[in-house]
Structure 1
Amino acid sequence: MADPKADFNHNDQAQPLSGEPSPEELEAAQAANEHGALADLQGQLHELTLKNAELGELYLRAQADMQNTRRRAEEDVAKSRKFAVESFADAMLPVLDSLEAGLAIKEATPQQIREGAELTLRQLKAALERNKVMEINPAQGARFDPHQHQAISVVPLPAGSTQDANTIVAVLQKGYSIAERTLRPALVTVSGSR
């Protein structure tokens, strides 16, 4: 028969009496925790790598879209310039035809020449207006606008005049604007102070 005291002593050495884990158990628990933390970090790294690849792909697509948009815009501007000139030239062709037809009449009277010139002038004005080229022809007494008018001279107002200072006295040459931008200012005489 085995000695119960010896068995008790053997069990006593295997497990501490205080209920604390053994150093081997602590080491195993710490290794398990480190392994779990490492697995979590590797999972996060994998997720971040996938997200980075996705964002990189989105960035490349955005860059390509931006380059395509820029290229299309440049092509549109080039086409607009080309076709704007084409449209203007097309509007001028009837005017050219009228001038050539008028010059082809060898025995035209002064009255016929004048009528032809007036008709051609109306065609020219209509063609310019279709292409947004508008006259700047201020009325006498209109306020001087340096954006649309160029003062050639300033004349003093005569005594008894009801016209205000800094207004148009006479238009020496009409101006023109294109799409609300001054192409050539009207040359005007402006009233000075009394």
Structure 2
Amino acid sequence: MGVMSDYRDPGELLKVLKQELLNNSLQPISVDFYREALKAVARLGEDEKLLKEEVKKTLETIFLIRLKKEVDLLIKGVKLDEKSLPPEEYGVIEKIKETINGMEKVVFRGEDLEKSGRQVTSQAKGSSGEQRSKVEEFSFVYFRKSFSPTLDAPERGKSMKSALFKKGDFALIPKRLAREYKEQGTVEIIEELLEHAK
């Protein structure tokens, strides 16, 4: 997008959104894209509340779709260039890396579940009667509102209270919980976002 683009016009943001939806690959945008767009939103008057909400919703959708693509690249082992990404996106990617590293410590080093704040293993009995550990599938989610969920710790026979998630936070949580929280309107599941946007 050029520096003269008027991001107060939803049509300008819809052009960006359309490019992201029509292309599987991550599309180039200015590193100042979100900063300039938010400045434009702030310039909208009080009598333009509906327009402001429309612009903010479109901007949020662009952010989440691009983030989904960036996570896909991360999974494939592609190194993302910090200089080519808006800092708002790259900052989240760095947090994801930290979360994954922390999760790996829990899974492979057996760190305390209460310290991790995430359930990463479940116990199941095999045909021989011996117990075996199974890594639970996770979903990457975006919290639409503040929330303090209770996660199970089955091997301890009790529940535990996780840290409070704030509106706008991203987290890796068990898929079964992600579906439940989505039904409650608490989270957006990132991997489903492209399908919903279409």
Provide TM-score, normalisation by structure 1: 0.27
Name which one, 1 or 2, has greater alpha-carbon Rg: 1
Structure with larger RCO (C-alpha < 8 A, sep 6+): 2
Q: Which has the higher helix share?
A: 1
